[in-house]
Structure 1
Amino acid sequence: MYKTITKTGLAIAISAAVSLPTHAVSDSQKQQLNNAVVKTSQSQEEKLKEFHAYVNAYLDEYEQWRDEYTNKLDERRTDLIKTWGEGEVSSQTKQVDYSQNDQVKTAVDYESNTATVSVLVDEDSSPEEIEALVRKVPVEVEGKTVDLANLTAEDHVVLYSLDKEQEEKNFVIEQTQSQMNELDVQAERLIQSDTGIPDSFIYQRAHNKKLALLTKAQERIAAQTKLYSEMRAKHGISIEQPEVIDKKVQEVASTESTPAKVSPTVVEKVVNVVPKAQVVKKKPATEAVSTSTKPKKVVSYKVKLPENSLKSRASKYTPLAEKESKNWEIDAALIMAIMHSESAFRPDAKSHVPAFGLMQVVPTSAGHDVNKQVRNIDAPMKASDLYQPVINVETGTAYLDILNSKYLRKIENDQSRLYCMIAAYNTGAGNVARAFNKDRSTSIGKASKVINQMTPEQVYNQLVAKLPYDETKNYLKKVSSRIALYK
């Protein structure tokens, strides 16, 4: 790949130089030719170093959008925490919308098939005032208008509690783990693509990116601590809390010996205290920090979605799953079970990795893999394309085929390969291999020899016990159990 780039650059420079009279050659053209000539005299070590820099810059360009997304999400969640005491936002299985200048929140949880409509009001609002307010609030759930006045209300004061603070920190931890997982998938994709880049370079790059994510997580968690402390001070709230020992993520990460062994659980150690008890006290008015903001409380209404909501959404995409099943020889029930688990059959679903659409495809890993191996396009996919059901399901199913027929092809038993394929869809074939290799290597060829000596049940149990990410363990359980629903 490097030689192609070098020859192309040299050809362009020479072509530009000889196609014009000598006196017409510009200084920039001369410089371009000189640079090309210099490159031909570079040592192999210099060429490799330059090629690695090129690959690194190429990947950095496509990772920048992830960091920008994370920063914008943090900004949004900070605004919500200031208002609501928590930063609840949409995920792949939950849709959270705000209206009325962020005073009304509608959260539809497709896993529990319920919706919660919450209204932010002054703490001293009377029941009559609240009833009058909610009658003026138009709320739609799943396309139907909901009359809140006919529902039973629950309320709680916005107290900026330790529990809520910990939930927000857990959000950062879980998102960081998912993004670390995706770096593993990306690294595995590069290795399997046989680009000529040394495995050591790919692993080292993934290692460095993980450390950067961990450092950023430490900063984000520290920001959460500061924000909640400021909001408690602003509203005159004092909390008796246990002493928290905060470990620096760099110190924890430094215990990892090699790039290939960066632990996905390291980030959990950044905040390792979940308060078991707390006492929340409102300070007397004379002690409270003066503010023009009145204390608020949240009034919430639970709405049960129709029992057939999931089935109705699923029925829309059954023909699409069956079509792609025939195209790629992948079980339609597996495709449906993945859509169920990944997005609850919502084509506009978006996770915090971020991943997109019905089968939650990440543009720079699975999306890039399918583009290159199936469509002959060496570039990541566009998020806008992945929101289109036809493209998304084709891409997700094609990726399952790549896993099944290429990456995991040495696994002989169909059921064992199915379990590994489900796990690999979430975490990559390399991490599946780590669950079976005693040295925790990512060689799936080596792991296949171990897997082929085991029963499918043993393979499943080994994956649940040894996969490096809890997210993937839970994913394997959910998808495997849901396949039977669509047989």
Structure 2
Amino acid sequence: MKTISMTVLSVTLPLLISTAVIANDPFAELDNEVEQLYVDDTAEFEQWYAEHLSEFNKWQMAYLEQWDKQQVSSIEKWGDAKTPSQDTLVVYNEETESRTVVDLEKGEITINYPAPSNSTSESADADLLVVNKVITDNKELWQQVGFRIPEPATSQVVYVEPVKVQEQTFEEVRQEIIAQTERQMSQLDIYAEQNMVMVSPPQKERIVEQQKQVLEANKQKRIITAQANIQKQKTVHQQQPTKMVEYKVKIPSSALSERAGSYLPQIKIESAKRGLSPALVLAIMHEESHFNPQARSHVPAYGLMQIVPTTAGHDVNKLYRGNDAPMRATDLYNPEINIETGTEYLNILHNRYLKGIKDPKSAKYSVIAAYNTGSGNVAKAFGERRVSAAIKKINSMTSDQVYQQLITNLPYDETRNYLKKVNNRMQSYQAHNNSTI
């Protein structure tokens, strides 16, 4: 990638000044020379900016390639598209050829493994032994999600079912691909805002739009490929029937609040430092990871508050820690670092990018949306290119009007739904924790 030198301005400027002083209109001449310098370098800046965003896009799409491979493998072997994500844990055991899926969104754990070819009703005891071995092997995992002492499985909850691809599988995969693409477009918008150079707003929008078209084309390609593969595997499973042993159990209803409670002391400490509501942090953490410190999405984002190392992580490093570099994913799996980073990013959004919003509720709605999609897209929801102009409009509206404007006009469905969910959860945490939040 070509590096653009900014030293040319400092070298040329003294010469321009000395020449301009002897002219009839020295300041006009100086302005003309500097403007010419800017024009001469415009194409160079635009090329650098386009290449920079292109590299970011390639980095994002590389993680989607991993997800696509996992999805194909899952449908081929298990008949479904259950893959690791920010709210789903998937653990494989080579010894038992089993798969354990912890779905934090649905609140259930499922264990599967291929049924022996000679499996009969008399072999139920053998199946039970395998399931209980898997439970024992994953004891720590079960405890992490809410089972203090995992209870042994019984024959009443262990079934042998034929492996088949369900009719809704393609629609589930399609919707996931759409959501992934929208989240990546949001991150592209945030990255573009953070890496502003001497490129005019219209040119910047053109370059960003070109990169979004790349993401859109990739989305359509992935959907077509997924549809073909799912149809193929549906036929394979019909022509070559196999069976799967399945055990499913609900995670205790108290597990979510217990996981949240384990992080509440740290949340209160970091929130207090920045004047944030702990209920806001809890609601975002709930939506982002269901309080799973090892959560990783295919944006990619990491940990409890789903920090993207190159956008939110870089911002916090640069503006808070004095380190102009992206964060490391390994650090973001540390709950203390993740909570510190997530709360500081909320603080940066509130007191830097969206500074000046007078009504506290309006500010909170705007910050929630910006946490997901960036302050630039908040501005777009109010029909503005510049955030400062959007803030003027926000300050002329009631908080209810601001909320309705955001959930109606934010650029992405994913962000509109995100704002609704986080707002509802925030109110719930406030209602149930008045003594502590």
Looking at structure 1, the residues matched to 258 and 235 of structure 2 have their Cα atoms a distance apart, in angstroms, of 48
SS at 1:300 equivalent: strand
Query: Partners of 1:333 and 1:8 in 2: how far apart?
Result: 49
The offset of 1:417, in angstroms, is 0.8
Residues 121 and 46 of structure 1, relative CA distance in 2, 3 Å threshold: farther
Tell whether 2:80 aligns with 1:75.
no
Tell me which moved more, 321-330 or 135-144.
135-144
Distance 2:331 2:118 in 1: 48
For structure 1, the residue ranges without an aligned partner over 5 or more in a row are 10-41, 238-287, 289-293
AA aligned to 1:182 is Q
Q: What is the aligned length? A: 394
CA contact (8 A) 1:151 1:301 kept: no
1:481 equivalent in structure 2: 424
The structure with the greater share of residues assigned to helix is 2
Once residues 300 and 397 of structure 1 are traced to their aligned partners in structure 2, the CA distance between those partners, rounded to angstroms, is 41
Tell me the TM-score normalized by structure 2.
0.81
Aligned counterparts of 2:400 and 2:44: Cα–Cα separation in 1: 48
Report Cα offsets for 1:32-87 as digits up to 9, x if no partner.
Answer: xxxxxxxxxx9654533333333444444454432222212212221221111222
Aligned to 1:135: 129
1:463 is matched by which residue type in structure 2? L
Q: Return the match for 2:411 from 435, 450, 468.
A: 468
User: Following the alignment from structure 1 to structure 2, what is the Cα–Cα distance between the partners of residues 49 and 183?
Assistant: 21
Correspondences of 1:5-24 after superposition (within 5 Å): none
Look up the SS of the partner of 1:381 in the other structure. coil
Report the secondary structure of 2:112's partner residue: strand
For 1:160, the equivalent position in structure 2 comes to: 165
C-alpha distance in structure 2 between counterparts of 1:410 and 1:331, whole Å: 18
Q: Is 2:228 the partner of 1:226? A: yes
Q: CA deviation at 1:130?
A: 4.2
CA–CA separation in structure 2 for the residues paired with 1:426 and 1:230: 36
Within the candidate set 232, 256, 262, 1:310 is matched to: 256
Between the aligned partners of 2:297 and 2:259, the Cα distance in structure 1 is 19
Conserved 8 A contact 1:106-1:117: yes
On the 8 A contact 1:371/1:377 being kept in 2, the answer is: yes
Amino acid at match of 2:226: Q
Give the Å deviation of 1:324: 1.3
In structure 1, distance between residues paired with 2:46 and 2:38: 12
Shift of 1:348: 0.9
Give the distance between the partners of 1:349 and 1:420, measured in 2 at CA.
25
**Map 1:355-366 → 2, pairs under 5 A:** 355-366=301-312
**Aligned partners of 2:160 and 2:419: how far apart in 1?**
37
Aligned to 1:442: 385
Q: Does residue 1:112 correspond to 2:106, yes or no?
A: yes
- Of 172, 185, 190 in structure 1, the residue corresponding to residue 190 of structure 2 is 185
8 Å Cα contact 2:63/2:299 also seen in 1: no
CA contact (8 A) 2:183 2:299 kept: yes
Distance across 1 between alignment mates of 2:122 and 2:183: 45
Which of 86, 89, 97 is 1:92 aligned to?
A: 86
CA–CA separation in structure 1 for the residues paired with 2:209 and 2:382: 21
Superposition deviation, residue 469 in structure 1: 1.9
Structure 2 residue matching 1:468: 3-state secondary structure:
coil
Say if 1:159 and 1:114 are closer, same or farther in 2 by CA, change over 3 A.
Answer: closer
Distance 1:7 1:131 in 2: 80
Check the 8 A contact 1:96/1:105 in 2, yes or no: yes
Q: Percentage identity across aligned positions?
A: 38
- Pick closer, same or farther for the CA change 1:333–1:5 going to 2, 3 Å: farther
- CA distance in 2 between counterparts of 1:399 and 1:346 reads 19
Within 5 Å, which residues of 2 pair with 1:165-180? 165-180=170-185
Per-residue CA deviation, residues 11-47 of structure 1 (Å, 9 max, x unaligned), is xxxxxxxxxxxxxxxxxxxxxxxxxxxxxxx965453
**Residue of structure 1 in register with 2:378 after alignment:** 432
Check whether the contact 1:343–1:358 (CA below 8 A) recurs between aligned residues.
yes
SS at match of 2:168: helix
SS of 1:107's partner is strand
Distance 1:155 1:423, change over 3 A: farther
Pairing partner for 1:410 from 324, 349, 356: 356
Shift in Å at residue 100 of structure 1? 3.5
Q: Distance in 2 between matches of 1:83 and 1:360?
A: 29
Cα distance in structure 2, aligned partners of 1:478 and 1:330: 19
Q: Give the letter for the 2:93 counterpart.
A: S
Q: CA deviation at 1:358?
A: 0.9
Q: 1:142 to 1:189 in 2, by over 3 A?
A: same
| Alignment CA distance shift 1:375-1:196 (3 Å) | farther
Q: Deviation of residue 364 (structure 1)?
A: 1.5
In 2 relative to 1, CA 431–481 (structure 1 residues): closer, same or farther, beyond 3 Å?
Answer: same
* Residue matched to 1:375: 321
Write out aligned runs for 1:199-278 (5 A). 199-235=201-237, 237=238
CA distance in 1, matches of 2:386, 2:106: 38
**Partner letter of residue 47 of structure 2?**
A
Structure 2 CA distance for partners of 1:186 and 1:471, relative to 1, 3 Å: same
Helix, strand or coil at the partner of 1:353 = coil
Distance 1:90 1:208, change over 3 A: same
Partner of 2:153: 148
Unaligned 5+ runs, structure 2: 12-35, 144-148
1:120 touches 1:299 (CA, 8 Å); kept in 2? yes
Q: Which residue of 1 aligns with 2:338?
A: 392
Aligned-partner Cα distance in 2 for 1:48–1:159: 57
Letter paired with 2:204? I
Where 1:142 maps in the other structure, the secondary structure is helix
1:102 to 1:430, Cα distance in 2 relative to 1, 3 A:
farther
TM-score (ref. length: structure 1): 0.73
